[in-house]
Amino acid sequence: MNFVEEKMFEMALKAYQNAYTPYSKFNVGAALLMKDDKIIIGSNIENASYGLTNCAERSALFAAYSQGYRKEDILKVMIIGDTSGPISPCGACRQVISELVSENVDVILTNLNKKTKIMKVYELLPYRFQEEDLDV
Whether the Cβ atoms of residue 107 and residue 86 lie closer than 8 Å to each other: no
DSSP state of 20: B
Question: How many helices (H) and strands (E) are present in the chain, helices listed first?
Answer: 4, 5
**The sheet that has 39-43: what strands, in order across it?**
39-43, 28-34, 74-81, 106-111, 116-120
The H or E element that residue 124 is part of is helix 121-124
- CA–CA gap between residue 126 and residue 128 (Å, rounded): 6
From the candidates 5, 10, 57, 99, give the one annotated as an active-site residue: 57
Residue 79's closest CA among 94, 69, 67? 94
DSSP state of 88: -
Annotated active-site residue 57? The verdict is yes
Active site residues: 57
